[in-house]
Amino acid sequence: MVTLLYIDDEPALLSLGKAFLERQGEMHVETVQEPERALDLLAARHYDAVVSDYQMPGMNGIDLLIAIRKRYNKLPFILFTGKGREDVVIEALNNGANYYLQKGGSPRAQFAELANMLNRAVEQSKADERLARLNRALRMISACNAELVRATDERQLLETICRVIVEEGGYHFVWVGYREGDELPLLEVSRAGDDSGYLDTCRSSGKESDLQCLDTMTALSTGMPAVSREKPAKDEIVLNKYALMHGFAASISVPLDSGQGEPGVLKIYSDQPDAFDQEEVALLIQLAADLSYGLSALQGDAERKKAERLAWEMEDQYRIIFENSGTAMLIIEEDKTIALVNTGFSSLSGFSKEEIEGKKKWTEFFEAKDQKKMVQYHDLRRIPGKNAPWTYESRFITANGEVRTVILTVGVISHSKRSVASLIDITEQKMAQQALLERENWYRAMVNEQTEFICRFLPDSTFTFVNEAYCTYFNRTYEQIIGHTFIPILYKDDIQKVRNFFKSLTPEHPVGTIENRCVMPSGEVRWQQWSDRAIFDDSGNVLEYQSVGRDITEQKQAESALQLANRKMALLARISRHDVLNQLTAIQGYITLAQEISPAPAVLEPLAQAEIGCWNIREQLEFTRDYQEMGTRRPGFMNVQESLMRGIAQIDVRDLSFILSLGDLEIYTDPLLDRVFYNLVENSIRHGHHVTMISISAQQSEHGLRIVYEDNGCGVPENLKEQIFVHGFGKNTGLGLFLIREILGMTGIMIRENGEPDCGVRFEIILPDGCFKNGINGSLQ
């Protein structure tokens, strides 16, 4: 649940915003009208984010932002205002605002965008805080390990460890208590941080100091850490009311072994409600284990407290802690020579202990640019009253030359000139951060390098993203478009078309493509093609649109020119064909007249040949008409049996019988399918000599579906089965079967003749997958 503080001096807007935002999902909104009151609320309780108006009496939104950043550096802040000046936006962002959102437009879309901004800001803030906590925890453990190595007194060790947990771990308050026998309360042995009187309040109520505090009791009884928070997750405990009253948001009780057989608890408090996640708890378990081990080493029995034996045994314990800390560690002499390393350091460096101890200076393992500051810090630590950073980041060089990034923690061992240092390898973490940044930059560069226009905008046309190609095309800067309402000027005849297109995008069909005209800033009208995607929320409301477009003006102009040329060519062909047919009719008339006037055989034979030539010319003209019509109409699914009936309606078939087995079969082809069957039947009548029966059926085979055309004529000789489809082959014009193959081939359909000679023709029309539909329901004779 995201807890939001919303500040605006308009009560109506506060009420409206609270209603809209809380309807978005896991969000709780608290409202306040006075910015000064908002600062008091932030000091009293935890909020995940702040939304503020700009123009308010007494303190405006920028002043409030500055005050919040001074006290709560990383708290997400969104300026939500009707003030649309560019200088206000720049000032807000320069002072650390996460986002800026201008009021106006649809309240639903406005608050949906605000909710999206809040969720993104809170998620990023939590991720950053989680990473920071883990980094602090790693530095804390490294520093604690260094303290464990040089500790000589139990109480001093616990006080130092508590201080390190608060200072390096960033926690609010920490204390350590031991349980003595079965008696209560727990004996407090160390503390650090500010509890604002919390423990005293709990003791007076009989809560925190005894086992009635459930998380402390659970840690002691189970030997496992127990986490408490106001709204606990599974396996967690509700934080007691006194902790909440004193500003704590989460706590963890980690069991300790005091070294004397009596259990203890390390109790840590945080003001962050999402503290102590799984990885953080694992690190604290490791810290408690190291501390328990250190306490055990410090708290030997009375015999081990004798001075001479204590020196040897403590040295042995130090070595055990040093070797088994789980962190790369080394001890450094005053002249920077490495006196001792543990297995962790040997593994990290790639050198054996024998190759390092007493032979190498510790600065040799770091890049040259880091060595200067390391030497400076090394010398400062040995000068009384001087201070040097005890934790910093450096570049570590291994035996094979590999460079690793480490967090280095260094301290001087008490009563000596030696230093103890620990190293935590964070190379993978650094590489992951760098890879994430590079990938983000790569995606941004890739989008900006696209020649297509890419943009995202809200339903009220407020733009949230554009690439460089979009800005260049519309002659606008990025700043002039982003965060503003920008609507390109549509050509008047396309306005309603575009409106209807966007209305047609639904959650079931969120993507569509449209072509429309736009009036450019120069006044020129350009054609564009846009692919648009609508992004919906769970209720089906549009949250945003994403568009990818390109200029298709030249393509449209070329298409228009081609269409005009085709129309002119078709008109010329029709006029020419009409005129030639008229002349043929006249010629055939004169031939008929000549045949009647001069019946002499020597004259009649040439006249008969001339008439045949005229008929051939007429057929060729008919062919050119059919061939010209090919491809002029869009292919589609044609019912085969209906096309057959229309085709043979133009032929005298009274002497033929047909056997049909086509059912409701439809095939995807040119609308000239009627002409295919006309030519097949006409070919059977003309060349089959004695054809009386024609069979046409749809047949399924292992290679797919095919239409088989058969007659009982003379058939086709084996050597002519392919030549019959060649243009000009045959006794007449040689155009019929050529035209059939051309028509079918336009949609990938093949035809071949594979009948037996002298047994009739057998044409197979082979249909590719996806080119047919509907089954074969029966036969028609």
Of 22-31, 255-264, 359-368, 618-627, which one has max mean pLDDT? 359-368
pLDDT band at residue 444 using 50, 70 and 90 as cut-offs: low
Of 80-94, 130-144, 200-214, 480-494, which one has max mean pLDDT? 480-494
Structure tokens that stand for 724 in this block = 């019959």
Of 199-203, 580-584, 632-636, 712-716, which one has max mean pLDDT? 712-716
End-to-end CA distance of the chain: 75
CA atoms within 13 A on the CB side of 179: 21
Angle between helix 107-150 and 154-167 (nearest 10): 160
pLDDT band at residue 636 using 50, 70 and 90 as cut-offs: confident
Rounded to whole angstroms, the Cα distance separating 552 from 525 reads 11
Provide φ and ψ at 434, rounded to 5°.
-65, -40
The residue-averaged pLDDT of 348-367 equals 91
Quick one: pLDDT at residue 211?
Answer: 37
Rounded to whole angstroms, the Cα distance separating 568 from 445 reads 48
Closest CA to 662 of 627, 625, 616, 709: 709
607: exposed, middle or buried (C-beta count within 10 Å: 0-12, 13-18, 19+)? middle
CATH of 327-431, one of 3.30.450.20, 3.90.1720.10, 3.80.30.20, 3.40.50.300: 3.30.450.20
Neighbours of 753 (CB within 10 A): 17
Quick one: pLDDT at residue 778?
Answer: 37
The residue-averaged pLDDT of 151-173 equals 84
The residue-averaged pLDDT of 630-640 equals 78
Structure tokens that stand for 338 in this block = 């490495």
Three-state secondary structure string covering 247-263: CCCEEEEEEEECCCCCE
Q: Cβ neighbours of residue 665 under 8 Å, at least 6 residues apart? A: 639, 640, 641, 698, 707, 772, 774, 775, 776
Quick one: pLDDT at residue 573?
Answer: 57
Report the CATH number of the 2-130 domain.
3.40.50.2300
Dihedral over alpha carbons 309, 310, 313, 317 (to 10 degrees): 180
Three-class SS of residue 447? helix
Does domain 450-551 fall under CATH 3.30.450.20? My reply is yes
Range with lowest mean pLDDT among 69-73, 87-91, 129-133, 546-550: 129-133
Quick one: pLDDT at residue 212?
Answer: 44
Judged against a pLDDT cut of 50, whether residue 307 lies above it is answered with no
Quick one: pLDDT at residue 781?
Answer: 30
Three-class SS of residue 527? strand
Integer-rounded Cα radius of gyration of the chain: 45
Range with lowest mean pLDDT among 143-152, 283-292, 654-663, 716-725: 143-152
Closest CA to 125 of 39, 49, 26, 41: 49
Neighbours of 526 (CB within 10 A): 18
Range with lowest mean pLDDT among 170-179, 209-218, 540-549: 209-218
Q: What is the pLDDT of residues 506-534, one digit of tens each?
A: 999 999 999 999 998 888 899 999 999 99
For all residues of the chain together, what is the average pLDDT? 82
Distances, alpha carbon 484 to alpha carbons 457, 459, 473, in Å: 10, 12, 17
Range with lowest mean pLDDT among 231-245, 442-456, 724-738: 724-738
Range with lowest mean pLDDT among 6-15, 359-368, 542-551, 566-575: 566-575
The residue-averaged pLDDT of 338-349 equals 90
The residue-averaged pLDDT of 313-332 equals 73
Three-state secondary structure string covering 177-209: EECCCCCCCCEEEEEEECCCCHHHHHHHHCCCC
pLDDT band at residue 274 using 50, 70 and 90 as cut-offs: confident
**pLDDT, greater one: 36 or 278:** 36
CATH of 151-305, one of 3.30.450.40, 3.40.50.300, 3.40.50.720, 3.40.50.2000: 3.30.450.40
Asked if the domains 2-130 and 327-431 are classified in one and the same CATH topology, the answer is: no
Going from N- to C-terminal start, the domains of the chain cover 2-130, 151-305, 327-431, 450-551, 557-628, 635-773
764: exposed, middle or buried (C-beta count within 10 Å: 0-12, 13-18, 19+)? middle
Closest CA to 275 of 293, 254, 252: 252
What percent of the chain has pLDDT above 90? 23
E runs forming strands in 474-587:
489-490, 511-519, 525-536, 542-551
pLDDT band at residue 275 using 50, 70 and 90 as cut-offs: confident
Provide φ and ψ at 567, rounded to 5°.
-65, -40
Distances, alpha carbon 276 to alpha carbons 42, 84, 139, 407, in Å: 22, 42, 16, 22
Does the predicted model carry a pTM greater than 0.75?
Answer: no
The residue-averaged pLDDT of 35-54 equals 87
Class level of CATH domain 635-773:
alpha beta
Q: What is the pLDDT of residues 732-771, one digit of tens each?
A: 555 678 888 888 888 889 999 999 988 999 999 999 888 8
Judged against a pLDDT cut of 60, whether residue 206 lies above it is answered with no
Angle between helix 278-298 and 154-167 (nearest 10): 160
Quick one: pLDDT at residue 208?
Answer: 46
Distances, alpha carbon 402 to alpha carbons 355, 408, 766, in Å: 18, 17, 66
The residue-averaged pLDDT of 300-326 equals 58
Judged against a pLDDT cut of 90, whether residue 500 lies above it is answered with yes
Judged against a pLDDT cut of 90, whether residue 116 lies above it is answered with no
| Cα-Cα-Cα-Cα dihedral sign, residues 597, 602, 603, 609 | positive
The residue-averaged pLDDT of 539-545 equals 93
Tokens 């947990």, residue located: 165
Contact 116, 108 (CB under 8 A): no
Provide φ and ψ at 338, rounded to 5°.
-80, 120
**pLDDT, greater one: 133 or 366:** 366
Q: Cβ neighbours of residue 612 under 8 Å, at least 6 residues apart? A: none
Quick one: pLDDT at residue 293?
Answer: 79
pLDDT band at residue 779 using 50, 70 and 90 as cut-offs: very low
Judged against a pLDDT cut of 80, whether residue 615 lies above it is answered with no
Rounded to whole angstroms, the Cα distance separating 711 from 692 reads 8
Judged against a pLDDT cut of 60, whether residue 400 lies above it is answered with yes
381: exposed, middle or buried (C-beta count within 10 Å: 0-12, 13-18, 19+)? middle
Quick one: pLDDT at residue 777?
Answer: 43
Distances, alpha carbon 451 to alpha carbons 338, 415, 521, 527, in Å: 60, 70, 20, 16
pLDDT band at residue 16 using 50, 70 and 90 as cut-offs: confident
